[in-house]
Amino acid sequence: MEKKYTNLNGWLIIVQMFLIIKAFVWIRNVELYLNVFEKKDELLKTINVSNTGLYNIFVYFELVMSFLCLSFYIIMIYYLFKRSRFFPKLTNLFLISEILLNFISTFIFIQLQPIEPAIIWNLAVNFVVAVLMIIYLKNSVRVKLTFVK
């Protein structure tokens, strides 16, 4: 008997949860950096940043990155539930882009303040999860048979 992989179940439930949780994380980031953007002049006085130009670049970069990432996660969720054939490739491309953007952001942040171990840990966890997702989306038979529209 031939199995039909037309539903979004099995390991794809984890992919769904990942995308939805990450969308909420980026919503939180948008809110956070909108607040930082609104109060950046006050924050510059209180946190004693030596390079204010770099701090402004960091705030703008994080704000734009947060809006872009949130938009892409919404688009990926749409393609996931539509079961579009573009979903696996789009998701892989975006996961790689997100990791690169996080490394750029961290590099900018290192220049402003000493780096916290939690930031390195967050980068490492995001990298490992992205690699696992890319491997699954690239090699899974379920993914190849589900996303055909």
Coil, helix or strand at residue 13: helix
Q: Is residue 1 part of a domain?
A: no
pLDDT at 37 over 70: yes
Q: Is residue 126 part of a domain?
A: yes
Find out whether 66 and 33 touch, Cβ atoms under 8 Å.
yes
Q: Which domain holds residue 136?
A: 12-146
Q: How far is Cα 124 from Cα 109, in angstroms, rounded to an integer?
A: 16
Q: Give the predicted TM-score (pTM) of the model.
A: 0.80
Going by pLDDT thresholds of 50, 70 and 90, the confidence category of residue 1 is: very low
Q: Is residue 59 part of a domain?
A: yes
Q: Is residue 113 part of a domain?
A: yes
Q: Is residue 31 part of a domain?
A: yes
Q: Is residue 5 part of a domain?
A: no
Find out whether 79 and 86 touch, Cβ atoms under 8 Å.
yes
Q: How far is Cα 146 from Cα 6, in angstroms, rounded to an integer?
A: 5
Q: Is residue 6 part of a domain?
A: no
Going by pLDDT thresholds of 50, 70 and 90, the confidence category of residue 3 is: low
* Residue pLDDT, tens place only, 70-107: 999 999 999 988 888 899 999 999 999 999 988 888 88
Q: Is residue 35 part of a domain?
A: yes
pLDDT at 6: 62
CA dihedral 134→135→141→144, nearest 10 degrees, is 30
Domain count, the chain: 1
